[in-house]
Structure 1
Amino acid sequence: MTCDPARTGHQDPRVDGRLHGHLGTGAIVFMVIAAAAPLTVVGGNVPLAVAGGNGVGAPVGFLLAAVVLLVFSVGFVALTPHVREAGAFFSYVTAGLGSRAGLGTAFTALVAYTAIQVGVYGYAGWALDDLVVFFGGPEASWWVYSFAMLAVVAVLGFRHIELSAKVLGVALVLEIAVVVVLDAVVFARGGRSGVVVETFAPENVFTPHIGVAVLFALTGFIGFEATAVFRDEARDPDRTVPRATYLAVVVIGVFYALSCWALVTGAGAADAVAVAQRTLDGEGNLLLDTTSEYLGPVLRDVVQVLLVSSLFACVLSFHNVLARYQFSLAGKGVLPARLGRTHPRHASPSTASLVQTVTAALVLAVLALAGLDPLVGVFGSMAGVATVGMVLLLTTTSVAVLVFFARNPGARRRGPGATRVAPAAAVLGLLACLWLVLSNFTLVTGSGVAVSAVLALLAPAAFVLGFALGGRYRLQERTTGT
């Protein structure tokens, strides 16, 4: 019996240029759910979905997004054993559609994840300032706090991934616990006017603005592909990645839907939209006000602190994912070779991490100098860019699954339901989601048609650029069944 050094974590990363570790299913799920930032979504995305979307029917938007992503995950998991590198979507697309589409997908992911990370930095700056002022401290510009958080993320992202996993795990447990308690108390007391069953009435679900709710629901799932990004650092990737993927989607979807429903119930069917709108106007806070009413002022203060820790966990997780994208691309010669180096002591993609920090800082500086509002101008618009990119990534990946198994029938370890039916259904569902998102895009960005069109085209433009350059690189090197 031999010892696999990749599983024990003792492999020197300089030997083969890959990352190593022994993360289990729980650790990876922590990373993924932390990237989804449960408290951030409940405190930020939910008011946006309720006020700008389909009102009391917004919780169903989160369920719809979860169902579509579960269907997508069936094909994603079926292809996982045949993709032997930690490139996530771009490795999957390369396996099925070739280097051009693969690099286009990689560029799209870089744009999407950078956008949502910068958006969350804006939200975090606003939340930190609100926290400091609430406890009697001085008021400051949101970007001051955003850059302070960016500096801390830079330090942790430079070190080994297991340190980040521990930090994210502690923050995640606390924020989920307090929201679960809030949900339970709201439903136990019945809200202001009873449990809002109108949430599931078709006339409240299928409104003209349901696309806004679906968009912010999908935004809440951004980062769940990290189950594959961390495959080189997983204890048993062929088993850990599928388990973590399904578990992450189910936990995230149920948690978001129930929490959104609880906040709607807590405010009451008649007042939910108005209360959510006051949150966007800075005149109230749907999450904090509901917590104060049902759990008391002390836990209200606790939630406000945890909201900041949730935002921190979110940007740290996105930082780790982006650094690993750059690390993988550098290993293929697409990005400078220095980005593919690992730290001799921390076994982390340290150079890629530093570059990612500089990139985020530059984009954040541009938005700050433009004088944008941190919630609508920064978080809202960047969430829109990221969601368009995410849907494009998911759709292309599903097409790649179909093509891969059509070309390699001998590689099918699962039946036609996983290799043909589910991926095809995912493509149709994702195209429907994209139409809903784009048809309501100006409501999300808070800008005119011209600006919204430019923002919506950023992710597709990145794909086209990558596709044009993709013929110059051999990205398909570590797949099986081809």
Structure 2
Amino acid sequence: MTQLESPGVEASAKRTLHGSLGVTAIVFMVVAAASPLTVVGGAAPLGILLGNGVGFPALYAISAVILLLFAVGLAAMTRHVPKPGAFFTYVGYGLGRSTGLAAAWIAMLAYTTIQVSVYGYVGYIMSVTVTSLGGPDVAWWLYSLATIALVGVLGFRHIDLSSKVLGVLLIAEVGIVLLMVAAVMISGGAQGLSLAPFEPAQIVSGSPGVGLMFAIAAFIGFEATAIFRDEAKEPHRTIPRATYAAVIGIGVFYTLASWGLVMAWGPDHILDEAAADPGTLILRTMSAYLGVAGEVTVNVLLITSMFACVLSFHNVITRYQHSMSNAGVLPEKVGAVHARHLSPHISSIVQTVTAAVLIAVFALFQLDPVLQVFTWFAGVATLAIAILMAVTSVAVIVYFLRTKKDRRIWNTVLAPALGFLGLIVSAVLIVAYFPIMVGDVDAAGTPVFGTVSWLLIALVVVFPVIGYLQARWIRARRPAAYAKLTDTIAG
């Protein structure tokens, strides 16, 4: 192993991460990234309002099925590719180094944009909360920057600390949402309990492409189980189990929670309630069914939920950067591991600075933290991750057909192929309805691809192109480093 001689790192420190995370700890990490309360309180109301209304809960179930099929192939790869790079590594093994590097950059785009979108939302919620309690009226982006700083401190330290913090917050936010659903079920809701959200006519109503974007966005992070391979206990067993547990748990919880939200106000009224103020729908629901105590509790937990979300994504991104550094794609120092905390601390600092700069730019352009920062960049992240997962599904099929290392047809061909089809259809729908999400519509409400839509979608094209160009440059100028990319013999 290469020894390091950088500030804060002893010369004997190595570039390999170590740990003993079990299935539960890893599931907490990635489900916290999915941020249950942020989704139920922030994304679900927007999915109902901008998406397909009453039918939105069904899209969580549909997304879960698609992503579970994808997870089958992902789990098969984790057994045969003992590397922590996830998409970056798996695409490289299946489709070659250049495509693997392109996948690495689109993954960086996806995780960075979803993280910074939540930073915008948490800044808004904290600003509104403090003001409502009689505190000073401070700009949202100052709260966002303060959150970035705190996340940076935790990300600098050992992963066990982050997992414990995330575990406590996750249990609290899941508990309060389930309590709300129970209260709705016991009371019978506003118009009685029904399966209206799962009726075909409701599912395809409104703008299902926008709804699907918000639904898939809720799952972003579950596939990152593979990134924690080096820090997992018995990774060949722990990682597949954590992956399945994460996607199934997320799917069931969000479907149930959003159904409860619709039932709380009734199919005839939920759209009007969401339109009144999507940002406070969860608070009003809690107040109606759990009283003032429920409203205050969920207000606090909504902030901690978003904090848990950005902390989890911070850990994911820093480990992606660590893997890319060790493959010779990013500067060598980014792959440094702290001697005492055993964390990718330089990578953590890089990600902290990146997030702070982006929030500063959004503040400079006076973007709305919810309708623009959160909604726009969550859309970019979801489109990027859907395409990335689709490419990974193809890589899984190609890898096993070429190597014959796993002859289980369902695990290595059929499930990945079905997942690929579902993800491609999802990506097409997201693109088709993208203008509605960013407000690019004509007087009649018809989606029109304007400048904002094209610029945001262009990011999903530009980043993988950067990866391909970098791969060509490395191959021409640094052939030894190119041979090291994703540690694959394919090319």
TM-score by length of 1: 0.94
Aligned partners of 1:321 and 1:292: how far apart in 2? 35
Aligned partners of 1:274 and 1:20: how far apart in 2? 51
The residue type equivalent to 1:425 in the other structure is: L
| Cα shift at 1:468 | 2.4
Q: What does residue 474 of structure 1 align with?
A: 483
Please tell me whether residue 310 in structure 1 is matched to residue 305 in structure 2.
yes
What RMSD in Å do the two structures reach over aligned CA positions?
1.7
| Cα shift at 1:467 | 1.8
Equivalent runs, 1:18-57 vs 2, <5 Å: 18-57=16-55
Which of 179, 190, 197 is residue 177 of structure 2 equivalent to? 179
| Cα shift at 1:442 | 1.2
What secondary structure sits across from 1:119 in the alignment? helix
What secondary structure sits across from 1:139 in the alignment? coil
Which of 263, 287, 296 is residue 291 of structure 2 equivalent to? 296
The residue type equivalent to 2:267 in the other structure is: A
CA gap 1:268/1:14 in 2 versus in 1, 3 angstroms:
farther
Q: What does residue 4 of structure 1 align with?
A: none
What secondary structure sits across from 1:293 in the alignment? helix
Larger deviation, residues 152-161 vs 192-201: 192-201
Contact 2:88 2:486 in 1 (8 A): no
Q: What does residue 401 of structure 1 align with?
A: 396
Q: What does residue 218 of structure 2 align with?
A: 220
The residue type equivalent to 1:125 in the other structure is: G
Q: What does residue 361 of structure 2 align with?
A: 366
Larger deviation, residues 85-94 vs 441-450: 441-450
The residue type equivalent to 1:450 in the other structure is: T
Aligned partners of 2:102 and 2:319: how far apart in 1? 17
Which of 417, 427, 440 is residue 433 of structure 2 equivalent to? 440
What secondary structure sits across from 1:126 in the alignment? helix
Please tell me whether residue 421 in structure 1 is matched to residue 414 in structure 2.
yes
**Count of residues in correspondence between the two structures:** 466
| Cα shift at 1:333 | 1.2
Q: What does residue 232 of structure 1 align with?
A: 230
Which of 155, 174, 192 is residue 194 of structure 1 equivalent to? 192
Equivalent runs, 1:129-278 vs 2, <5 Å: 129-278=127-276
Q: What does residue 453 of structure 1 align with?
A: 454
Contact 1:30 1:168 in 2 (8 A): yes
Aligned partners of 2:87 and 2:172: how far apart in 1? 30
The residue type equivalent to 1:185 in the other structure is: A
CA deviations 1:327-349 (Å, max 9, x no partner) are 11111111110101111110100
The residue type equivalent to 2:454 in the other structure is: A
Q: What does residue 321 of structure 1 align with?
A: 316
What secondary structure sits across from 2:374 in the alignment? helix
Q: What does residue 7 of structure 1 align with?
A: none
Aligned partners of 1:321 and 1:233: how far apart in 2? 12
Contact 2:113 2:377 in 1 (8 A): yes
CA deviations 1:161-200 (Å, max 9, x no partner) are 0000011111101000000111111112111110142211
| Cα shift at 1:88 | 1.0
Q: What does residue 9 of structure 1 align with?
A: none
Contact 1:340 1:351 in 2 (8 A): yes
Aligned partners of 2:84 and 2:284: how far apart in 1? 42
Which of 79, 99, 114 is residue 101 of structure 1 equivalent to? 99
Contact 2:88 2:101 in 1 (8 A): yes
| Cα shift at 1:393 | 1.1
CA deviations 1:403-462 (Å, max 9, x no partner) are 0011111x01x5101111111111111111011111110122234622111101212211
| Cα shift at 1:470 | 1.9
What secondary structure sits across from 1:143 in the alignment? helix
| Cα shift at 1:60 | 0.6
Aligned partners of 2:453 and 2:293: how far apart in 1? 41
CA deviations 1:382-403 (Å, max 9, x no partner) are 1011011101110110000010
| Cα shift at 1:250 | 0.6
CA deviations 1:211-239 (Å, max 9, x no partner) are 11110011111111221000000011100
The residue type equivalent to 1:370 in the other structure is: F
Which of 61, 67, 70 is residue 68 of structure 2 equivalent to? 70
Q: What does residue 116 of structure 1 align with?
A: 114
What secondary structure sits across from 1:440 in the alignment? helix
Which of 89, 92, 101 is residue 90 of structure 2 equivalent to? 92
- For structure 2, the residue ranges without an aligned partner over 5 or more in a row are 1-9, 441-448, 475-481
Contact 1:96 1:400 in 2 (8 A): yes
Dislocated runs of 4+, deviation >6 Å: 479-482
Contact 1:376 1:446 in 2 (8 A): no
What secondary structure sits across from 2:184 in the alignment? helix
Contact 1:102 1:475 in 2 (8 A): no
Contact 1:82 1:479 in 2 (8 A): no
Larger deviation, residues 160-169 vs 129-138: 129-138
| Cα shift at 1:204 | 0.7
Aligned partners of 2:161 and 2:190: how far apart in 1? 43
TM-score by length of 2: 0.92
CA gap 1:243/1:481 in 2 versus in 1, 3 angstroms:
farther
- For structure 1, the residue ranges without an aligned partner over 5 or more in a row are 1-11
